[in-house]
């Protein structure tokens, strides 16, 4: 068997042999297929990139049919059980789990960069009192490019490393301050004695006590949620990060764009939408009626937290989250919306509509319930997603920059507008 694809162009009768590598043909190999000398050549049409690989990547592997997710080869379940977010971020960024010495140096670097410039604080104070924290988050990340102008030296490895340390360390501070801003409380400075997630809880929830003591169960649960969200290969926001980065913009500008993509309700805003949906349903006995409405397509309702472009089975992250939910609820008390969520899942997993379309709970279905039980308002949910995804975004951005095959991202189009026509002066237009 040879790894080629034979294509016969029925328009011309010509036959072409296209190489197949890694289960793909190169779209550019189609360009030679022409009907005549002035034909541009065949292109592929793939709205929403349903069947187009945009890069080679060694970071994250997903087997959507079998519900498998690996970071650099390590199963997500093992990382959620054994690792912590900072170690996982190191793994995602540098390709291997750190040795004890590497981990110590990495933790030190991140801890040293948690503070924000006082002018960043002033910038954040300028937002309306009720500004959505995700809007504050993405604007502030974008503004950071003006604080670190050396970030534009994207081909300088050490400059890239400095921005990596800064971004991983500072996004929790920005996120926490965005939250404090939205509830009118003074911003809390980082406490570098605490762990990554412990310090984040400190910056969110510290009041007048001299030293904030994070609840270890909640700090660990948050850390596991961070591990689960750290990367997910070529999703909408990661593709945005790569696309903006491909123009050689600095990482802060690229990451602000990625965060903007994450903000949408079909992506990182989905856990917020799940909570709104559960509140709207209101009680377990209203679940069948809601499912009926979703199936009829009435009001464009979707079962939020269900379905995924890649997973056509149970999202492995949702399985881990369901387990930590019990630990969190033992501390915080049960979220009353849990019963509604469980009933939705029970009915949907038996219903033909969802079964035939392979719609299963995704990462967002239960994460919102945990966040809410921990005291986060729904507006913070996409921000909580953006903190750990920063590791994935940076790793994917750097991989793109170092990939000699990559260029500025620039898809083609099929033009559907009018042909050439002459300009008509305004007074003569009908
Ligand atoms: N509820 C009801 N029907 C659905 C849902 C849903 N959540 N998701 C997909 N469908 C239906 C859809 O109507 C379509 O039916 P038909 O073939 O009859 O037209 C079919 O399933 C295929 O859907 P699609 O929209 O073509 O699938 P997609 O791969 O473009 O969409 C998705 C993936 C995640 C955007 C979609 O499943 C969805 O909108 N889910 C709800 C939002 C959500 O939970 N998003 C979080 C995704 S996981 C976290 C992340 O990666 O950010």
Give the pLDDT of residue 334: 87
101 plus 21 within the same structural domain: no
Give the pLDDT of residue 2: 80
Quote the DSSP letter at residue 315: -
Q: What Cα–Cα distance (Å) separates residue 230 from each residue in 60, 92, 107, 366?
A: 10, 8, 17, 17
Q: Which domain range does residue 2 map to? A: 1-44
CATH code for the domain of 265: 1.10.580.10
Instruction: Kindly indicate the confidence band of residue 1, based on its pLDDT and cuts at 50, 70 and 90.
Output: low
Neighbours of 395 (CB within 10 A): 27
155 plus 15 within the same structural domain: no
| Consecutive H or E run containing 60 | strand 60-63
| Consecutive H or E run containing 172 | helix 157-182
Length of the chain as a residue count? 430
105 plus 225 within the same structural domain: yes
Nearest CA to ligand 1 atom 11: 357
Q: In angstroms, what is the span from residue 52 Cα to ligand 1's centroid?
A: 19
DSSP labels for 180-207? HHHTT-------TTS-HHHHHHHHHH--
66 plus 36 within the same structural domain: no
Any ligand 1 atom below 6 A from CB of 359 = yes
DSSP labels for 238-258? HHHHHHHHTTT--HHHHHHHH
Give the pLDDT of residue 93: 98
Tell me the two tokens of residue 49. Answer: 């990139």
Using the CB atoms, write b or e for 156-181: b if 16+ within 10 Å: eeebbebbbbbbbbbbbbbbbbbbbb
Tell me the two tokens of residue 427. Answer: 């007074």
Tell me the two tokens of residue 248. Answer: 């050689």
125 plus 187 within the same structural domain: yes
d(CA 422, CA 215): 70
Pocket test for ligand 1, best of 50, 233, 290, 307 (most atoms within 8 A of CB): 307
84 plus 34 within the same structural domain: no
Instruction: Kindly indicate the confidence band of residue 266, based on its pLDDT and cuts at 50, 70 and 90.
Output: confident
Average pLDDT, the chain: 95
Any ligand 1 atom below 6 A from CB of 392 = no
Q: In angstroms, what is the span from residue 357 Cα to ligand 1's centroid?
A: 9
The answer to whether 36 and 14 are in contact (CB under 8 A) is no
Any ligand 1 atom below 6 A from CB of 270 = yes
**CA-based nearest residue to 268, from 225, 297, 300, 299:** 225
Q: Indicate the number of domains in the chain.
A: 2
> pTM of the prediction?
0.93
The answer to whether 176 and 184 are in contact (CB under 8 A) is no
Give the pLDDT of residue 152: 97
pLDDT in tens, 76-88: 999 999 999 999 9
Nearest CA to ligand 1 atom 29: 309
316 plus 167 within the same structural domain: yes
Any ligand 1 atom below 6 A from CB of 367 = no
Q: Is a pLDDT exceeding 80 seen at residue 355?
A: yes
21 plus 157 within the same structural domain: no
pLDDT in tens, 359-369: 999 988 999 99
140 plus 241 within the same structural domain: yes
**Strands 74-75 and 4-9: what pairing?**
unpaired
Asked, for residue 428, whether it belongs to a domain, the answer is: no
- The beta-carbon contacts of 8-14 under 8 Å, at least 24 apart in sequence, are 9/33, 9/35, 9/42, 11/35
d(CA 295, CA 221): 34
279 plus 216 within the same structural domain: yes
Any ligand 1 atom below 6 A from CB of 306 = yes
pLDDT in tens, 166-215: 999 999 999 999 999 989 999 999 999 999 999 999 999 999 999 999 99
Asked, for residue 423, whether it belongs to a domain, the answer is: no
Asked, for residue 206, whether it belongs to a domain, the answer is: yes
SS (H, E, C) 129-169: CCCCHHHHHHHHHHHHHHHCHHHHCCCCHHHHHHHHHHHHH
Q: What angle do CA 130, 271, 115 make, to 5 degrees?
A: 55
pLDDT in tens, 122-176: 999 999 988 999 999 999 999 999 999 999 999 999 999 999 999 999 999 999 9
116 plus 245 within the same structural domain: yes
Among all residues, which ones are annotated catalytic?
267, 308, 364
Give the pLDDT of residue 271: 86
């Amino acid at each position: 068997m040879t790894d080629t694809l034979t294509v016969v162009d029925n328009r011309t009768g010509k036959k072409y042999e296209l190489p197949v590598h890694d289960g793909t043909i190169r779209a550019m190999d189609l360009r030679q297929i022409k009907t005549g000398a002035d034909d541009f050549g065949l292109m592929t049409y793939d709205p929403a990139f349903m069947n187009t690989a945009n890069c080679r990547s060694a970071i994250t592997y997903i087997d959507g049919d079998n519900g498998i997710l690996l970071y650099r080869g390590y199963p997500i379940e093992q990382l959620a059980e054994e690792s912590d977010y900072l170690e996982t971020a190191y793994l995602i960024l540098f390709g291997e789990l750190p040795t004890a010495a590497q981990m110590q140096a990495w933790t030190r670097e991140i801890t040293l960069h948690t503070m924000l410039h006082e002018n960043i604080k002033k910038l954040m104070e300028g937002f309306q009192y009720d500004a959505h924290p995700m809007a504050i988050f993405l604007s502030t990340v974008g503004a950071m490019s003006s604080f670190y102008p050396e970030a534009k030296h994207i081909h300088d490895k050490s400059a890239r490393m400095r921005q990596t340390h800064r971004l991983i360390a500072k996004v929790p501070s920005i996120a926490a301050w965005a939250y404090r801003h939205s509830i009118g409380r003074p911003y809390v400075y980082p406490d570098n004695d605490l762990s990554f997630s412990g310090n984040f809880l400190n910056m969110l929830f510290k009041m007048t006590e001299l030293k904030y003591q994070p609840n270890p169960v909640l700090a660990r649960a948050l850390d596991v949620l961070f591990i689960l969200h750290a990367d997910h290969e070529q999703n909408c926001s990661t593709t945005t990060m790569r696309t903006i980065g491909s123009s050689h913009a600095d990482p802060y500008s690229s990451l602000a764009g990625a965060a903007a993509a994450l903000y949408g309700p079909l992506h990182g805003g989905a856990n917020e939408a799940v909570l709104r949906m559960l509140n709207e349903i209101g009680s377990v006995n209203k679940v069948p009626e809601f499912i009926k409405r979703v199936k009829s397509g009435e009001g464009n309702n979707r079962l939020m937290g269900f379905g995924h472009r890649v997973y056509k089975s149970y999202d492995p992250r949702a399985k881990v989250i369901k387990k930590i939910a019990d630990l969190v609820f033992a501390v915080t008390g049960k979220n009353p919306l849990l019963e509604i969520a469980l009933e939705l899942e029970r009915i949907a997993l038996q219903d033909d509509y969802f079964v035939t379309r392979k719609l299963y709970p995704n990462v967002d279905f239960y994460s919102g319930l945990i966040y809410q039980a921990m005291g986060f308002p729904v507006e913070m949910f996409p921000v909580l997603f953006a903190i750990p995804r920063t590791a994935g975004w940076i790793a994917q951005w750097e991989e793109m920059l170092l990939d000699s095959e990559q260029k500025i991202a620039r898809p083609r189009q099929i033009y559907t507008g009018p042909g050439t026509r002459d300009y008509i002066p305004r007074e003569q237009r009908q």
